[in-house]
Structure 1
Amino acid sequence: MTVDFYSFAKGIVKGVLTPFYRIQTIGIEQFPKEGGVLLCANHISNLDPPVIGITAPRPIRFMAKEELFRAPVVKTLVKSLHAFPVKRGMNDRQALRTGLEVLKQGEVLGIFPEGTRSKDGRLKKALPGVGFFALRTEAAVVPCAIVGPYRPFVPLKVVYGAPIDMAPLRARKASPEEAADYIMDHIRRLLEEHQRA
């Protein structure tokens, strides 16, 4: 994957958002340095993708709602940032195939398991698509908690957890729904731990 424009954009966005939201990155040393990674985060703001993008150590391919690809200018921008469209509800077979290919190529796939933003900050039930990716590949599954709120000059935490051991679920052929719930439990624990801190 070419990262020239991605790196350029990352530098600019990082220079703006990091001091404005006093972004603190925690646990980044646990992020796999190579190989496919399924990065799963809670979703509380439209700024979540760029915030994760500037704190993660590797380029991320995000699944983005297809509506963003309808406006020519926005479409060009999000495609330049390596995002690809997905229809709401995670029943988009082409998006699923693309996501699997991203992981099999050893890249990082960024996904918000809830499928949409939580307006009250509380975790919602995960869609089964994230479980599908976790079970159908050998990619490392990394939970990420964005601990808000997004307020100017109020510290915002981005917490990366250790990769989740999905081997037992893969071995017993767990359902995508069960795997999705398992991943969300890890995100929930990160949130609870760092909201108290």
Structure 2
Amino acid sequence: MISKNSAKLMRFLPDKVVFKIARKAIDGYLDKYSEIKVNGYENIKKVDGAKIFICNHLSNSDGFILEKVLKEDYDPTFVAGVKLSNDPVTNLGTKVVKHISIKPNTADKDAIMGMIKILKDGENLVLFPEGTRSRTGSMIEAKKGVILVARMSKANIIPISLSGTEKLLPINKEGDMSQEKWNNAVVNVNIGEPVIIPKKDKEESKHDYDERCLNYLMKSIAKGLPEKYRGVYK
């Protein structure tokens, strides 16, 4: 990983130079440490138009892995927590991956409207509905924002099930992202069949309907994971 001092110094360089340095470093880490196995890529082509890729979240390497897999054909925009921009090292990652910043655990209307605009414009989006990386290595309860974005954009939804990134770039136990270290790991990227949000039952409350939709989407991710990764969505 690029050192924190080096990352701080890079803030004084032109953006184009920073991009080239960060891009080369991240590509180098992925080439050196990861063996990426992709299954189900053909499922994406089963639907036309804008797509929301939804995925479980295990590591700061998740975005880099998915960008490598999806960029050539789908060039998605990622949704990333603002704290990634606050750390000098992880901020370099945000220079490489096209993204929208969002304030976690808040009703960030600007970010949500930005996501919807991207999709309405026919572009693609990657969302991690859990909102944060799982510290247990298995799925945690998701946030409902993904339901709002999906309904308002009417975009296609493609579930992606990711495993192995928790070994590739493990979460630092003290919470210092700049101290996270890359390790050799096999990363499995399972791309599922497109899913459609179920319709609301007449007698169903909005709360119950939202819960049912969210559970349905998250289980479509869990379906492509080994059982030990499924967590609350077993």
Q: What band does the TM-score fall into relative to the shorter chain?
A: 0.7 to 0.9
The SS at the match of 1:29 is: helix
Conserved 8 A contact 2:44-2:193: yes
In structure 2, how many angstroms separate the alpha carbons of the residues matched to 1:141 and 1:10?
A: 28
The SS at the match of 1:131 is: helix
In structure 2, how many angstroms separate the alpha carbons of the residues matched to 1:78 and 1:171?
A: 41
RMSD, aligned CA: 3.3
- Aligned match of 2:190: 159
Cα 1:133/1:54, change in 2 over 3 Å: same
Which 4+ residue blocks in structure 1 deviate beyond 6 angstroms? Answer: 8-12, 71-74, 170-174
Percent of counterpart pairs with the same letter? 27
Conserved 8 A contact 1:135-1:176: no
Conserved 8 A contact 1:43-1:118: yes
Cα 1:103/1:10, change in 2 over 3 Å: farther
* 1:66, distance to aligned residue in structure 2 (A): 1.4
* 1:54, distance to aligned residue in structure 2 (A): 0.4
In structure 2, how many angstroms separate the alpha carbons of the residues matched to 1:129 and 1:106?
A: 20
Conserved 8 A contact 2:55-2:162: yes
Conserved 8 A contact 2:22-2:92: no
* 1:14, distance to aligned residue in structure 2 (A): 4.7
Residue by residue over 1:80-99, the C-alpha shift from the partner in whole angstroms, topping out at 9 and shown as x without a partner, is: 63211101125100011001
In structure 2, how many angstroms separate the alpha carbons of the residues matched to 1:164 and 1:85?
A: 26
In structure 2, how many angstroms separate the alpha carbons of the residues matched to 1:76 and 1:171?
A: 46
TM-score normalized by structure 1? 0.80
Conserved 8 A contact 2:58-2:135: yes
**Gapped regions of structure 1 (runs ≥ 5):** 1-5
Matched, 1:63 2:53: no
Residue by residue over 1:60-96, the C-alpha shift from the partner in whole angstroms, topping out at 9 and shown as x without a partner, is: 1111111233468966862563211101125100011
Larger Rg, first or second structure (1 or 2): 2
Matched, 1:169 2:199: yes
How many pairs does the alignment contain? 190
Which residue identity is paired with 2:226?
E
